[in-house]
Amino acid sequence: MINIAVFCSGFGSNLQAIIRAVKKEKIKASLSLVLSDNKQAYALKRAKKAGIKTATIDPALFKTLEDFDTEALKYLEQEKIDLIVLAGFMRIISPVLINQYKNRILNIHPALLPSFKGTQAIKDAFDYGVKITGVTVHFVDERMDHGPIILQAPVKIDDNDTLGSLEKKIHKIEHKLYPEAIRLFVEGKLKVEGRGVKIV
């Protein structure tokens, strides 16, 4: 069985969606670890309630991203982790993890990449006035919000939408799309070819 580690920094609503999918056996894998860079993250409470092992690493104790990731690697090796899932993890992943877990790190982004990269994607799309935004699940590579795209889903922005209502729409789609992408990975159905990802 594949062992999954979920990296979170905050509220953990995507983590909750993943926990739910694993419990319902939609994802046939073991949620072995939830790792956070923030000891106050509500995601840690969600993990503990679900009986998942947790770990917190304080970024203030490490000079570089690489040092932080080297520490994270110890926990991953200990739990024999096969797949890393980033769920609201607010740190850049360094080559230390990317090289060790090539095409085995997933991220979810609240926009249709390559549009609106970065941490304010929902607001940026809303402020720009686009009519359609969405959600992207992709593999992580050395560049931010750049790796091969696994799944995307559009979200229509209506005239009466506020930033708050758009955020709710985005999160609702995220909670469906992320477990689906993880399921495809776990079942060995994703094949990376250059920038493309085929579902086989």
Q: What angle do CA 112, 117, 119 make, to 5 degrees?
A: 115
Q: Could you tell me which of 174, 167, 68, 176 has the C-alpha nearest to residue 124?
A: 167
For residue 125, what pLDDT is reported? Answer: 98
pLDDT in tens, 61-119: 999 999 999 999 999 999 999 999 999 999 999 999 999 999 999 999 999 999 999 99
Last residue of a domain, one of 101, 121, 146: 101
| Ramachandran angles phi, psi of 111, nearest 5° | -165, 170
Both 86 and 144 in one domain: the answer is no
The pLDDT, as a whole number, for residue 27 is 97
Q: What is the CATH number of the domain that holds 26?
A: 3.40.50.170
Average pLDDT over residues 151-167: 97
Task: Give Dmax (Cα) for the chain.
Answer: 50
The answer on 134 and 172 residing in a single domain is yes
Kindly state the tokens that stand for 37: 């860079």
The residue out of 42, 74, 101 marking a domain boundary is 101
109 in catalytic set: yes
Residue 115 has a pLDDT of 97
User: Residue 110 has what pLDDT?
Assistant: 97
Range of the domain at 135: 108-200
Q: Are residues 57 and 128 in the same domain?
A: no
Region 2-17 average pLDDT: 97
Q: Residue 132: what pLDDT? A: 98
Does residue 81 sit in the same domain as residue 166?
no
At residue 181, the pLDDT reads 98
Catalytic residue from among 109, 146, 171, 175: 109
Q: Which of 101, 127, 147 is the last residue of a domain?
A: 101
Section 44-59 average pLDDT? 97
Residue 42 and residue 3 share a domain: yes
Q: Are residues 10 and 64 in the same domain?
A: yes
Asked if residue 135 and residue 49 are part of one domain, the reply reads: no
Same domain (yes/no): 85, 7? yes
What pTM did the predictor assign? 0.96
Q: Are 117 and 92 members of one domain?
A: no
pLDDT of residue 123: 97
pLDDT of residue 25: 95
Tokens found for residue 139: 């593999």
State whether 94 and 124 are in the same domain. Answer: no
| 20 — pLDDT class (breaks 50, 70, 90) | very high
Identify whether residues 97 and 170 lie together within a single domain: no
Q: How many CB atoms lie within 10 A of CB 96?
A: 18
Average pLDDT for 140-153: 94
Domain count, the chain: 2
